Structure 1
Amino acid sequence: MLSPVENLPVTEEETHLSFGEVISLSVQNLIAFVSSHRPWLELLALGSMDRPTSFSSAVSRSKLNLHHFLVNYSLVAAVSAALFLIGDPTALLIIASFAVMWLLLCFCRDHPLVLYGRHVSDRVIFFGLIVGSFWALWLTHCFLSLVLGIVAGALLCLVHAVLRNPDDLFVQEEQVVVPSNFLHWS
């Protein structure tokens, strides 16, 4: 997410980015984020499921797994919310369009938004998206279904995060050995 516009240095090149170019860059950032998910077979490895031995073990497991499978869990929660909204296709399309707008205009944007030669502040974008989202929820009467879908997806992810033994997941980044250039001839 961007820092406030007052603290953000704006280059001459960025002032000439059109709305479409900013959205295109945001889509590229979103694709890069989604493509960083872990393999689904690693997530669903049944051989690494077991009960934690204590509450502190469950908490540490859930922290490691939530961090490691963040993108996968986000996709599971989004699919769960979509499944709860599938009974009302209009609500599903409206909520999905607002979710895409939130992703593109707030979370995946790394350039300031310029419309008609003027910078649009993050406050205006947030206010517009919040008002628009509440309007969409009120218009479609799907708030309860959406909340139930998100809660069901979050609970499913939390249960998986507690039961998944993270011992075979990965090597901590701090423990990775950096290869030396001993045999490197350049």
Structure 2
Amino acid sequence: MSSPTPAATTTYTTIPISGTDVIFRSCQNLSSFLSLLRPWPEFISNAAWPDSLNLAATRIRVNTKYFHVNYGIITTVCTALSLIGDPTALVVSASVFTLWLLLYFFREDPMVMWGHHVHDHVVTVCLVFVTGMAIWSLDLVSNLLIGVTVGILISVIHGVFRNPQGIYLDEIDAASDGLISSPSVTL
């Protein structure tokens, strides 16, 4: 009888990480995400009326790619301001929002609780359940919709009126507009 080869019995698994390590790495990912924030003076400058509807749509697309973190902050602030009349709702919503950031959006590693791997689907279902319970128990639907709508409306208005001239999303745009000169070969 032959024994199985070591290569045939080798299995690879992920290294379990504690809940505090997951939260620490999530906070690091959040801070690196916020480092993509564009400076507010650059965000506010260079406003001009668009000449056509097509130009307005192009401006929204370009500005959204470039200022997506700024727009996210504006929408979050408008949503928080819509909850300011009820401090309990504000605290509960901030807690749920923090849970989503730490356990879903900025988590890289698998979650391990009490020595067992927690599947991503379980984390998502639990977060959706907690969010639904918070919104239902505090009756926040109308306030949240108003806040998110105002934040998106402000972002769209900014995207239409901010002239994206001088915004370079990648090296190809910069090279084609003359910011970066490619070495020319003369014969």
Query: Which TM-score band (shorter chain)?
Result: 0.7 to 0.9
Q: 1:112 to 1:84 in 2, by over 3 A?
A: same
CA–CA distance in structure 1, aligned partners of residues 171 and 70 of structure 2: 20
> Which aligned pairs between 1:63-78 and structure 2 lie closer than 5 A?
63-78=61-76
Query: What is the letter of the counterpart of residue 24 of structure 1?
Result: F
- Segments of 4+ moved more than 4 angstroms: 176-180
Note the residue ranges of structure 2 that are not aligned, 5 or more in a row: 1-11
Name 2:87's counterpart in structure 1: 89
Identity across aligned pairs (percent)? 37
Q: CA deviation at 1:59?
A: 0.7
Q: Which residue of structure 2 lines up, in the alignment, with residue 99 of structure 1?
A: 97
Aligned partner (choices 45, 48, 51) of residue 50 of structure 1: 48
Note if 1:172 corresponds to 2:181: no
**Cross-structure match for 1:34:** 34
Query: Residue 166 of structure 1 aligns to a residue in which SS?
Result: coil
Structure 1 residues 60 and 33, CA, compared in 2 at 3 Å: closer, same or farther? Answer: same
Matched, 1:111 2:109: yes
> Is 1:160 aligned with 2:158?
yes
Per-residue deviation, residues 47-99 of structure 1 (Å, max 9, x unmatched): x1111111111111000000100000000000000111000010011011111
Letter in 1 for 2:90: L
Residue aligning to 1:6: none
Specify the code of the residue in structure 1 equivalent to 2:29.
N
- 1:140 — aligned with what? 138
Instruction: Look up the match of 2:9.
Output: none
Deviation at 1:168, TM superposition (A): 2.2
| Number of equivalenced pairs | 167
Please state how far the C-alpha of 1:173 moved relative to its aligned partner: 2.6
CA drift of 1:172 comes to 3.1
Cα deviations by residue, 1:22-55 (Å, 9 ceiling, x for unpaired): 110001100111122000000011xx11111111
- Counterpart CA distance in 1 for 2:56 and 2:182 is 34
Which of 57, 60, 63 lines up with 1:59 in the alignment? 57
Q: TM-score, normalised by structure 2?
A: 0.84
Change (3 A) 1:22 1:51: same
